[in-house]
DNA sequence: TTCCTCCCTGTACTTTGGTACAATTGTTTT
DNA sequence: AAAACAATTGTACCAAAGTACAGGGAGGAA
């Protein structure tokens, strides 16, 4: 049996949600939420006119109260930007506050079973983005022919570090950094650190 | 009532799956799958010793047969790379073929309700990747506050051009390029062309 | 042992990048 | 009209990047 709690600053706009979860509870403040008893399985966050910047803060506070809880954010003005924000701080779902009761129940089912619910458009974008980042890894005639040390230097430069900074990070002389870079340039057939950055960004230098 | 069909090249390794879905059907070939009757809600793809390259092809063929079906890929040797591959061609889920029946049922619930099921580790990576791509957008008084000319210079530098090359491309003096770059650096609060490249690559100069 | 690669460093020099100070011209805003 | 901004260029200087030439130590392979 699932228990649903909705933290909302606009309870009057929750008709759909009440329909979907007649036994659910609506609270207006975090402290009310913290006084909740019983096994809550899902917390819904409805931040209608809170500025976006506060959604993630609220969400993090909820997660402090209930570390293992799954959280779905309801938005009256959904945007991919906002969705990413929510998901990045641990939300398991993000959907329109005026979704049909059926839809809301579906979201609840997915999320409470450990799934992630985001809109299909956003899903497309996320997967495309992920694909761009992970797919390029396999090929890579480039970085593989670099020695370990050269690789470190290349990655540091890829992060935008200057020769001096690389030297400090690797605890070597700036001169040595230059030596490594020279070897890198020759091996990769490029002319300078700018081309190296392009090379890296095209070759999936993720994490 | 859900109907589950599993396309597998190693039916003998599907004990767990059979436990989870006693009423499910196991088929060995695509043509057998195509002869299926009734309302199938979920197709499971178990490609144990097919090379990775063929998983996506098989998946696409299944999608041709059942355009609206949801597909979950079962892997005996799960990898994030393979997961991405599957998800990129339209799979709704990806999990270990030897997951517990409970887990498999959970995955089925999530996926058949429109959710996406990927492992928590992969989820973390995907969200991080997505965050890196989408998050920088909000704080983006960046490129918009550049003058048209500055924008051209910035883009040229983003392609790895030197000051001299930019000057030639825009038919202006190298000195002017420096002037524009100086303005760009100050407006964006960065120190040099390397940071500019990072800024650009993080600000969705994709597409 | 000898050869080779990797890693490290030095001096010196050239090229490129970035900043300071300054000025001209044209357009837009107030 | 005056002020503000955009685009352009100049001289000069300093900092950073890259290259040339050269050498030493550690470790594996022939």
Protein footprint of strand C, defined by Cβ closer than 7 Å to any strand atom = A 147-150, 170, 172-173, 175-176, 179-180; B 162-164, 175, 178-179, 181-182, 185, 191-194
In the Cβ-directed half-sphere of B203, how many Cα atoms lie within 13 Å?
A: 17
Give me the tens of pLDDT residue by residue for chain B, a chain 207 residues long. 568 999 888 888 888 899 989 998 898 888 887 777 667 678 998 877 665 557 777 877 887 888 778 889 888 777 767 777 787 777 888 888 887 777 788 778 767 766 677 765 565 555 555 544 444 333 345 567 788 899 999 999 999 999 999 999 899 999 999 999 999 999 888 999 999 998 887 665 433
Chain B nearest-CA residue for A156: B194
Structure tokens at B15: 């004990």
Is A81 near chain B, with CB under 8 Å? yes
Chain A contacts of B94, Cβ < 8 Å? none
Provide the β-strand partners of residue B7: B27, B45
Bridge pairing between strands A4-8 and A42-46: parallel
Strands (E), A64-170: 70-75, 93-96
CATH 3.40.50.2300 placement within chain A: 4-121
The reply to whether CATH 3.40.50.300 applies to domain B4-120 is no
pLDDT of the residue at B92? 81
pLDDT of the residue at B50? 61
In the Cβ-directed half-sphere of B93, how many Cα atoms lie within 13 Å?
A: 33
Chain B contacts of A119, Cβ < 8 Å? none
Q: CA B203 → C1' C16, Å?
A: 26
Is B195 near chain A, with CB under 8 Å? yes
CATH 3.40.50.2300 placement within chain B: 4-120
Cβ count within 10 A of residue A33: 21
CATH T-level topology, domain B141-202: Arc Repressor Mutant, subunit A (1.10.10)
Q: Spell out, as residue ranges, where chain A has pLDDT lower than 70.
A: 1-2, 37-38, 40, 49-53, 80, 110, 113-115, 119-143, 203-207
CATH of A143-202, one of 3.30.428.10, 1.20.120.850, 1.10.10.10, 1.10.3720.10: 1.10.10.10
CA distance A49 to B68: 37
pLDDT of the residue at B132? 47
DSSP A97: T
3-state secondary structure chain B: CCCEEEEECCHHHCHHHHHHCCCCEEECCHHHHHCCCCCCCEEEEECCCCCHHHHHHHHHHHHHHCCCCEEEEEECCCCHHHHHHHHHCCCCEEEECCCCHHHHHHHHHHHHCCCEECCHHHHHHHHHHHHHHHCCCCCCHHHHCCCHHHHHHHHHHHCCCCHHHHHHHHCCCHHHHHHHHHHHHHHHCCCCHHHHHHHHHHCCCCC
At B122-159, the pLDDT tens digits run 655 555 555 444 443 333 455 677 888 999 999 999 99
Is A129 near chain B, with CB under 8 Å? yes
CATH T-level topology, domain A4-121: Rossmann fold (3.40.50)
CATH 1.10.10.10 placement within chain A: 143-202
CA distance A185 to B91: 40
At B66-87, the pLDDT tens digits run 877 888 988 877 776 777 778 7
Is B138 near chain A, with CB under 8 Å? yes
Using CB atoms, which residue from B109, B111, B126 is nearest to A130? B126
CA distances from B30 to A185, B9, B13, B33, B88 (A): 49, 11, 18, 5, 21
CATH 1.10.10.10 placement within chain B: 141-202
């Amino acid at each position: 049996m699932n228990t649903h709690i909705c933290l909302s600053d606009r309870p009057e706009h929750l008709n759909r949600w009440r329909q979907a979860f007649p036994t659910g509870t609506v609270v207006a403040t975090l402290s009310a939420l913290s006084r909740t008893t019983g096994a809550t399985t899902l917390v819904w966050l409805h931040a209608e006119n809170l500025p976006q910047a506060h959604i993630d803060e609220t969400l993090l506070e909820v997660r402090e109260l209930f570390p293992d809880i799954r959280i779905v954010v309801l938005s009256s003005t959904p945007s991919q930007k906002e969705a990413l924000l929510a998901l990045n701080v641990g939300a398991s779902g993000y959907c329109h506050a005026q979704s049909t009761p059926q839809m809301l129940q579906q979201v609840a089912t997915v999320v409470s079973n450990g799934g992630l619910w985001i809109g299909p458009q956003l899903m497309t974008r996320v997967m495309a983005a992920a694909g761009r980042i992970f797919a390029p890894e396999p090929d890579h005639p480039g970085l593989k022919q670099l020695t370990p040390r050269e690789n470190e230097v290349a990655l540091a430069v890829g992060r935008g570090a200057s020769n001096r900074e690389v030297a400090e990070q690797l605890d070597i002389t700036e001169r040595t950094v230059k030596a490594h870079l020279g070897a890198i340039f020759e091996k990769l057939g490029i002319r300078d650190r700018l081309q190296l950055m392009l090379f890296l960004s095209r070759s999936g230098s993720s994490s």
